[in-house]
A and B are shown apart, each in its own frame.
Chain A
Amino acid sequence: MFEKSKTSTLAGVLALIVIGLVVVLCAFPWFWMFVSSFKTQQDIWAIPPNLNANTLRNYETAFGWWLVQMGQLMRPGFAFYRFLINSLTISLTATSVTMLVGVPAAFGFSRFKGKFMADNMLFFLILTLRMAPGFVEAIPIYLVFSQSILGGTAIPVVLMHILFTLTFVVWLMKGFFDEIPRDLDDRARIDGCSHFKTFRLILPLVKPGLATTAIFSFIFSWNEFLLTLLLTGAETKSLPVAISGLVTPAGTYWGAILASSVIVTFPVLVFAIIVQKYLVRGLTFGAVK
């Protein structure tokens, strides 16, 4: 519905201005954050706000352990590299397990529809899980694990992440599998393949779907806050939780906050651009193509 003739009118120009404004509005906060992460402490607090981006000190503070300047030990950094590793571990593990478990399940839902008991009900069940406030699942898990030795590890969090991304993976991948015609399955089976071999044959045909789903799962886990807050401790917390800890009653370490936020948000942005094509599909759990 692109009407080229109207661009020259006043309405057209106004529309373009509005669009431009919106785009700037959307992008600006991140860029502000990015620029400010390179400011010195004084510049961060400066009134009027300025654009003096000239130091890497914030990154050193956030990720380094001890700051050394001119041979002298300065105040300690926050050693966020630990939490970066935590985040990576949690998200990668959760994503891998979810994919391993969810993709076959999605295949099952796609291919065996109507052939086994209560398949619609199960599917709906997975949907209602999505609606649950984090506490409903997190607190019992916390109670169960805090008694056991596994309480200090990241296993409870990973389990929670798996649960929430599973609903997503199953739903999304089912949509992708549904797009592959059943004839191919039948043909493989008539030629002699078992059900599992057929599954392995169909997989390469949904490669873009697999990549998209994995990326979305990772993004969800990476950005997740509440569950991680509830289920991780000082050693196991993820980067987002750690960053929130920089806001203390004693004061807010803006420099470190800005720097670590850049690190947290940047990869996701890159991933989102990679899966652009399926962005809407992923965000709406496959409901919108």
Chain B
Amino acid sequence: MAKVQRLKAKIIPWAFLLPCLIIVFSVGIYPFYVMWDTSLRNYDTSDPLRIGQRAFFANYRAMLHDPVFYDSLLKTFTIAIPALLIEMVLGLILAQLVNQRVPDKYRKFLLPLIIIPITMAPICIGLVWRYMLHGDFGLVTYVLNRMGFFLEESILGSRTWAPVAIIMVDIWQWTPFMFLIFTSGLLSLPKDTYEAADIDGASSWMKFRYLTLRYMKPLIGIAVILRFMDAMKLFDTIYILTGGGPSVATETLMYYTYRVSYIWWNLGYGAALSLFLYLVIIITCEIFYNMTTRRD
């Protein structure tokens, strides 16, 4: 009887966790292994006889020699990083402004409007912007034309402007996210250090730079990591706004992987690409995490 009790005590935690762990391992970990295995096999449709056979690291070697791969990696960063930085800065400025200038009672009305972009399904966001950026009848195009900016092709059809459009849409979609995070951070700042700074005669800018930014650093870190993770995986908006185009101008690694896996059906190579992307995300998040939690 005594032994049973002690055994029971050890088992109980697992009883709570078991269903969750079963799902995580079977639907999450096991597929990861399958994916790894797939990346070691050949699914190149140009060689139909060898489909499914072991190809060792052929896919990875192909990846390292594939110019499109490097290009897509570059595109990923050129879209994700500017978007992220601008979102962060705008979000911070907006949070600071609202926190300082808008009395509490009006904030309730602001919030539902500001969060619209983050609640909309990304595909719908893509669609409405596609509508607004349409070369012929888009609202944005019309306004730009009236202001004197003309483009031979449409915005989404231009090699230079399409990526910009993607970045803009991403900024539109996620700045409110940064705004929310920073607002909640600003609300929990300790007031006494600011009062001490006032007594010492610090200017607004100095207070911002030395106090606000310092207190907000962990929050900024979290926001950046979360947003970066998702920015690297950006898909829905690219899919519906540009389909990776015009002619791969907006084809990020994620989209390229989609094209390889789902359209060319080269699952092996696609698997290699996905796993590489996964690795990049994990490593960069780890770096960000260390950067923001180690400093003072």
Binding site for B on A (CB under 8 A): 1-4, 6-7, 12, 15-16, 18-19, 22-23, 25-27, 29-30, 32-33, 36, 44-49, 100-102, 104-105, 107-109, 111-112, 115-116, 122, 125-126, 128-137, 139-141, 143-144, 159-160, 162-163, 166, 170, 195, 199, 219, 222-223, 225-226, 230, 240-241, 243-244, 247, 254, 257-258, 261, 264-265, 268-269, 271-273, 276, 279-280, 283-285, 287-289
| Cross-interface CB contact of B172 among A29, A159, A241, cutoff 8 Å | A29
* CB proximity to A under 8 Å, residues B71-102: 94, 97-102
Q: Is the CB of A30 within 8 A of B111?
A: no
Which DSSP category, helix, strand, loop or mixed, fits chain A's interface? helix
Q: Is the CB of A140 within 8 A of B31?
A: yes
Q: Closest CB-CB distance, A105 to chain B, in whole Å? A: 3
Q: How far is the CA of A108 from the CA of B13 in the complex (A)?
A: 6
The size bracket of the interface on B is 35 or more
What number of residue pairs across chains A and B have CB atoms under 8 A from each other? 272
- B229 within 8 Å of A (CB atoms): yes
Q: Is the CB of B254 within 8 A of A133?
A: yes
Q: Is the CB of A284 within 8 A of B137?
A: no
Q: Closest CB-CB distance, A133 to chain B, in whole Å? A: 5
- B164 within 8 Å of A (CB atoms): no
Task: Tell me which residues across on chain B come within 8 A of A269, comparing CB atoms.
Answer: 112, 116, 119-120
Q: Is the CB of B124 within 8 A of A264?
A: yes
Q: Is the CB of B16 within 8 A of A243?
A: no
Tell me whether A283 and B177 are in contact in the complex, defined as CB-CB below 8 angstroms, given that A244-B239, A261-B128 are known contacts.
yes
Task: Tell me which residues across on chain A come within 8 A of B136, comparing CB atoms.
Answer: 45, 47
Q: Is the CB of A133 within 8 A of B277?
A: yes
* Additional pairs, 8, CB under 8 Å, beyond known A29-B116, A131-B281: A33-B131, A45-B137, A108-B15, A133-B233, A136-B35, A137-B32, A272-B115, A283-B118
Q: Closest CB-CB distance, B292 to chain A, in whole Å? A: 12
Which DSSP category, helix, strand, loop or mixed, fits chain B's interface? helix
Q: Is the CB of B116 within 8 A of A27?
A: yes
Q: How far is the CA of A270 from the CA of B255 in the complex (A)?
A: 32
Q: Is the CB of B176 within 8 A of A26?
A: yes
Q: Closest CB-CB distance, A29 to chain B, in whole Å? A: 5
User: Nearest CB to that of A261 among chain B residues?
Assistant: B124
Q: Is the CB of B16 within 8 A of A48?
A: no
Q: Closest CB-CB distance, B166 to chain A, in whole Å? A: 15
* 9 tightest A-B CB contacts, nearest first: A108-B16, A105-B20, A140-B31, A140-B34, A223-B121, A112-B13, A261-B124, A135-B274, A27-B113
Q: How far is the CA of A188 from the CA of B113 in the complex (A)?
A: 45
Task: Tell me which residues across on chain A come within 8 A of B44, comparing CB atoms.
Answer: none
Q: How far is the CA of A36 from the CA of B124 in the complex (A)?
A: 14
Q: How far is the CA of A115 from the CA of B262 in the complex (A)?
A: 45
Task: Tell me which residues across on chain A come within 8 A of B99, comparing CB atoms.
Answer: 1-2
Which of B60-68, B147-155, B218-226 is the contact stretch? B218-226
Task: Tell me which residues across on chain A come within 8 A of B58, comparing CB atoms.
Answer: none
- B144 within 8 Å of A (CB atoms): no
| Cross-interface CB contact of B114 among A3, A23, A135, A195, cutoff 8 Å | A23
Q: Is the CB of B278 within 8 A of A131?
A: yes
Tell me whether A48 and B142 are in contact in the complex, defined as CB-CB below 8 angstroms, given that A19-B97, A29-B132, A137-B27 are known contacts.
yes
- B189 within 8 Å of A (CB atoms): yes
- B285 within 8 Å of A (CB atoms): yes
Tell me whether A247 and B16 are in contact in the complex, defined as CB-CB below 8 angstroms, given that A135-B274, A225-B123, A288-B184 are known contacts.
no
Q: How far is the CA of A140 from the CA of B274 in the complex (A)?
A: 12
Task: Tell me which residues across on chain A come within 8 A of B24, comparing CB atoms.
Answer: 125-126, 129, 163, 166
| Cross-interface CB contact of B184 among A140, A241, A280, cutoff 8 Å | A280
Q: Is the CB of A1 within 8 A of B142?
A: no
- B271 within 8 Å of A (CB atoms): yes
- B19 within 8 Å of A (CB atoms): yes
Task: Tell me which residues across on chain B come within 8 A of A128, comparing CB atoms.
Answer: 282
Task: Tell me which residues across on chain B come within 8 A of A15, comparing CB atoms.
Answer: 97, 100-101
Task: Tell me which residues across on chain B come within 8 A of A19, comparing CB atoms.
Answer: 94, 97-98, 101-102, 110
User: Nearest CB to that of B121 among chain A residues?
Assistant: A223
> Can you give 14 A-B contacts (C-beta < 8 A)?
A1-B186, A19-B94, A27-B113, A36-B131, A49-B139, A108-B16, A133-B233, A133-B278, A159-B23, A166-B20, A226-B236, A243-B123, A254-B131, A261-B127
* CB proximity to A under 8 Å, residues B240-296: 240, 254, 257-258, 261-262, 267, 270-271, 274-275, 277-278, 281-282, 285
- B10 within 8 Å of A (CB atoms): yes
Q: Is the CB of A130 within 8 A of B113?
A: no
- B157 within 8 Å of A (CB atoms): no
Q: Is the CB of A139 within 8 A of B35?
A: yes
Task: Tell me which residues across on chain B come within 8 A of A261, comparing CB atoms.
Answer: 121, 124, 127-128
- B57 within 8 Å of A (CB atoms): no
Task: Tell me which residues across on chain A come within 8 A of B282, comparing CB atoms.
Answer: 128, 131
Task: Tell me which residues across on chain B come within 8 A of A288, comparing CB atoms.
Answer: 181, 184-185, 219, 222
